[in-house]
A and B are shown apart, each in its own frame.
Chain A
Amino acid sequence: MTLVYRPGDSVAHRLDPRSKFAVQASFVVAAFVYTTPGGLVWLTALTGVLMAAADTSPIATIGELRYLAPFLVGAPVLQGLTLGTPWFVVADAVPPALASYRILLVLFVSAAYVRTTPVRASRAAIQRTVPGRFGRFLGVGVALVFRFLPLLQRDLARIRDAQRARLGRQRSIRDRARLLAVAGFNRAFRRADRLALALQARCFAWNPTLPPLRLGRRDLPALALAVGLSAAALYGAI
């Protein structure tokens, strides 16, 4: 299972998407400023609190991020290696190791956002934050990407199944990639043409009605945290 929204009633579920986004963004900035052992201890504790507030399991999140492991472990190892004795310099490997750990924390916090924020709310937040037609384009486009991603994934999986059933695995990688790409793009464009027709038939407009968003009293702690993290980052950077 990949990182997706799960309905629930945790503290984070009840927050406005904009305040959660503010916490996330300020956390990233603070993590970049305080990439020291001491700073990372505090940020680890904060990550724990945020994940608990979002009812998100760190172990399940690690499982979903395992494909990043070669990069996270590889960077410090590669930096520590030297040609000639002593072959591995621990001091060289420490900064990249801290950086890798920082990335892990940032990924945890963003996983908590993704788990607790429905797409409709994110779309409304985008459209209300980014003004004008550009914001509306982003809002509509992002909603369409969410809608069509599973369909196109299924299209591609079907194409690969069909290839496999016809002994496609015995072809060269070049042929397999070409055939998958041709069929994938053709289906996507056919869907796009049908979608455009359907949108026109339904009076596709620049000014549709959006779900209400409300920044309320319960968002205050989150906003305060975002301001605090930003202030700490600013203080540390000066």
Chain B
Amino acid sequence: MTKRRSLISLLSACLAITACATLGDGDASRVDLIRNRGELRCGVSGKIPGFSFLQRDGSYAGLDVDLCKAFAAAIVGNPSKVQYRPLTAPERFTALKTGEIDLLSRNTTFNLSRDASGGNGVSFAPVVFHDGQGLLVQRNSGIRSLKDLKGQSICVGSGTTTEQNLNDAFQSLGLPYKPIKYQDLNQVVAGYLQGRCQAMTSDRSQLASARSGFEQPEQHVILGDVLSKEPLAPLSSGRDQQLSDAMRWVVYALITAEEMGITQDNVGNKLQQAHDNPDLTKLRRFLGVEGDLGDKLGLSNDFVVNVIRATGNYGEIYNRHLGPDSAVPIPRGLNQLHRDGGVITAPPFQ
């Protein structure tokens, strides 16, 4: 027995060392893996109108989905080469960590525990939607603020930061409450509409998108109290610097394109201008006509052109899914460009 045990431990030690060694090389980048596979595996929610939602024709649409398309356009060169994996909140990090998906674009809150190597150790791209947690109540319930919810039942989705924020807010005010936890948002909505809870809580964007599906949306109000800041961002497993960088700069490219007024419609013209006029150096660098910015990232040099052709700039994506004419109108607020009074900005492409 002792011999056998030592043999096993010796064997496992050897395997562990080889595993570490092959990983340390870093020659097999996830970016190459995706390119060779010819398809990006993107984790989404699939249940939030405006962010990622299944359409009648079986395709997904939304802001999170457009980001998957942008990443695929940059890495594979084709925005339709995406395999979407609908994931629940508890599944998402495991799916990412085990390599089942390449990246996650699923309204995930960027915070320290998830980012740090001692926590989930994932790597976040820039924030694509600044959200905050809120509470939805019936208009005629007489509930106007958190204090009115003392001792009441609140419907909440389990396995998310939502649950923790709710607790932080009520605990700091010394208010008792009863969380009724469900596994997904649809059940939270059902429990709330059936009258099990006096309020339901989630990110304010999700409350707005859920309310858009109610029979009488005007009978429900989102309270003014904002329980948390929820910067939502796409993320990768954190083991591959090249992929993290690529994702970061694809998001920045979308933002920069909006700043420079480059849209899905005029990107062809802009490219022509860049080719024709050697003095437009900033535009030429951005679109990959000169310099080697794309190459440095391990992407094609004109990846920005591919991305904008696929999805348009950040403002176009936002308006398509969350703009005033969309099914889930959410005022842009913090998500406007910095020059328009929001917090969306990008470092220079230099």
B is bound to A? no
Binding site for A on B (CB under 8 A): none
